[in-house]
Amino acid sequence: MGVTEFYDIDTANAKLPEIRETLLRLADQREEVIAVRNRIVELNAPALAAASAGSPPAPGPEVDRETQMLRLRMQGLVDQMQAAALKLDGWGIQLRDIATGLIDFPALVSGRPVWLCWRLGEESVGWWHETSEGFDSRRKLEDLY
């Protein structure tokens, strides 16, 4: 395990443009994965319903072909999402929630580790919480010093 890099507020804020871009791309990919999954379910629902009613499932070659293409697309999206998550991890940033773009930066305050907390839509890093707590316990940076 490597040495943890700690962020100060200025360093965290300087990284935000790059992080914002990565998180927006991740959120878009997440939405597309959900849409692709829903389409796969929609395509295959009649065959699954027939199978549960005791009839042999027969989705047909068109459904099989589209399902296969959708599965390949989904795998490509998942691979891209994993690469983005690894990029954030490589920067020492903790991805907490893709849907809201919630991340934490490791920081030290008077020798004590804390998380600097930020999410998409916020202009700058303005929150923190203890390492043993989460988003619901975050407090304004002014309360840290």
Amino acid type, 112: R
Q: How far is Cα 18 from Cα 88, in angstroms, rounded to an integer?
A: 10
Per-residue pLDDT at 121:
95
Per-residue pLDDT at 77:
98
Per-residue pLDDT at 5:
86
Per-residue pLDDT at 101:
96
Per-residue pLDDT at 1:
37
Per-residue pLDDT at 91:
95
Q: How far is Cα 69 from Cα 110, in angstroms, rounded to an integer?
A: 54
Residues 6+ apart with CB under 8 A from 40: 67, 70, 71, 74
Alpha-helix residue ranges (DSSP H) falling in the chain = 9-52, 61-90
Per-residue pLDDT at 52:
65
Full pLDDT tens readout for the chain, 145 residues: 345 689 999 999 999 999 999 999 999 999 999 999 999 999 988 876 666 666 666 667 888 999 999 999 999 999 999 999 999 999 999 999 999 999 999 999 888 999 999 999 999 999 999 999 989 999 999 887 6
- The answer to whether 103 touches 94, Cβ cutoff 8 Å, is yes
Per-residue pLDDT at 110:
87
